[in-house]
Amino acid sequence: MENKTILWDGNAEEILPEGSHRYDFSFNLPLICPPSFEGSFGYIRYYCKVEIDRQWKFDEKEISAFSVIPCFDLNTIPYSISPVMKESTKNLGFISKHGRIYARIIIPKTGYVPGETIWAQIEMKNMSSRDIKGVEVSLMELSRFYGHCSYSGHKSPSKTHSRLVAKSRKEVVNRGEQTLTEQISLQVPPVVPSFNNCRIIQVDYQFKVEIEAQGSINNSLKIEIPILIGTYPLNNIPIDTLTNPTRAPNRLTPAQPTAPPMEMDNPPPTYGNSIFGPEKMENEDEDATNFIGFRPKYRYFPLATIDPISFPQCSNIEDSKRGCCVIS
């Protein structure tokens, strides 16, 4: 997107006198434009650039960056309200095996907005000779960058990069032959929403759970669940939404930008600076120097859940371990 307009067109007979002068202008942003984003291998930036063309002198330039936040309404995505679960098992140890641990993770929904708290229930069955000593949950951003080659027969390059958004840890003690159920939470900070409406950059998120046992090699079980980050929160979540969690998919498709919905009874959002700022890129143009210290702003809702969620009682974890993903 690159729109230009001439605010004042001087000529040989017309001179702009000394003093302050004001010229109003406006541009329309497309409904489907992607959000502002600062990544490790690419970015999406929006800014206004004013240039004064002075005859026989250096031109004067000024750049002002701003944030673009399209409407990604979670209420338009049916599966964002669905509770999901994922199960896995792993044989601890490297050369000497110490036995297996089983785990089931349940989260109450897959759609969140910055400011909300992600609650998870973790059921662990320790069938190994090692004690489980801790559980760590992380929110990971997965950004995909796509290149385009104009020569036929050449494969377009792509790159996937992950970075930590937030994490939380809880110390637990789960000795062999014991089943333990824990709840742990993590708050979503101001981050870019999930999006795939840009042909060269896409962003997804994963809720990652790591169960750590004693030992130094091959001593942890990791489970990843895809989630969506939107800009408008879910409304009117059914009370019984947790009764039938489904198995978590490998990936969730983000919503496409829509017109802003009518504001409901949710408290008004604030706008927080992104936790990620601009990074140095190779072969940047001269305008990039104006983004030093600039961080995009994103909608941030004060919806943090303080009290733990009442999760349903599922079948015993040993009863479903045959359907788990086995990792050795």
Q: What span, in angstroms and rounded, lies between the C-alpha atoms of 232 and 77?
A: 11
Tokens encoding 180: 């333990």
Total-model pTM: 0.84
Q: What span, in angstroms and rounded, lies between the C-alpha atoms of 311 and 155?
A: 47
SS3 category, 287: helix
pLDDT at 312: 61
pLDDT at 25: 84
Q: Measuring CA to CA, how many Å separate 112 from each of 17, 34, 73, 108?
A: 54, 19, 10, 11
Q: Give per-residue pLDDT as tens, 197-238.
A: 998 999 999 999 999 888 767 788 899 999 999 998 888 666
pLDDT at 327: 42
Q: What span, in angstroms and rounded, lies between the C-alpha atoms of 100 and 87?
A: 13
pLDDT at 131: 83
Residues 6+ positions from 242 with CB-CB distance below 8 Å: 83, 106, 108, 309, 310, 311, 312
Tokens encoding 272: 């927080």
pLDDT at 192: 95
- In the chain, the domains with their CATH numbers are 74-268 (2.60.40.640)
- Residues of the chain whose pLDDT is less than 70? 1, 10-14, 95-96, 150-154, 216, 236-243, 262-268, 279-290, 303-328
Residues 6+ positions from 127 with CB-CB distance below 8 Å: 99, 100, 101, 102, 176, 177
* DSSP characters over 169-236: EEEEEE-TTEEEEEEEEEE--S-PPPB--SSSEEEEEEEEEEEEESSSSS-EEEEEEEEEE-SB---S
